[in-house]
Amino acid sequence: MADFNQILDAGDVDGGVINVVVEIPQGSNHKIEWNRKLAVMQLDRVEPQLFAKPTNYGFIPQTLDEDGDELDALIITDTPLPTGIFLEARIIGVMKFVDDGEVDDKIVVVPADDRHTGNAVQTLDDLPPQLIKQIEFHFNHYKDLKKAGTTQVTHWGNIDEAKAVIRESQTRWQQR
């Protein structure tokens, strides 16, 4: 299998449309991660069903977050997306997040060409407030049933803040 990170780049960050690879479908309790060394998707663990992902979850190729992994993305769609596909996605914001003391931000995106919804979602403000609450609750509590680990959503940022996080992650990738 080819390495996504060698073939795909982050996309047009300045233009607001990036490439995202799906790791975990919305509603799944399987923690699937990209294994960069083996260039495959790997089941890392099975979480309690209570903490199934509230959105599709993936990563942006050729980026590294401060935790040393590819920069994460929360992909907002009406239905789950399968593991391993990539999509062009429009940036709508960022969820600033700390996991066990390490920055682990999540870029929030929607499909770039989502014609059936009329591309109604342009920013985080266009998302239902209940969805934002569900996402925040999930990430603040998904480690509660484990013996160790703390997580905290620190704040939600706009598109410009999200682009800055992506650019910093691209720089880290280039300097690795």
The annotation places the binding site at: 31, 45, 57, 67, 72, 104, 142
- Helix or strand holding residue 132 (H, E): helix 129-141
Rg (CA), the chain: 15
Q: Which residues are annotated as a binding site for Mg(2+)?
A: 67, 72, 104
Backbone φ/ψ region at 170: left (φ over 0), alpha (ψ -120 to 50), beta: alpha
Longest pairwise C-alpha distance within the chain: 44
Q: Which two tokens stand for residue 122?
A: 């342009």
Cα–Cα dist 21/109, whole Å: 12
In degrees, rounded to 5, the angle at the alpha carbon of residue 156 between the alpha carbons of residues 89 and 55 is 50
Q: If DSSP codes are grouped into helix, strand and coil, which group holds residue 113? A: coil
Q: Which residues are annotated as a binding site for substrate?
A: 31, 45, 57, 142
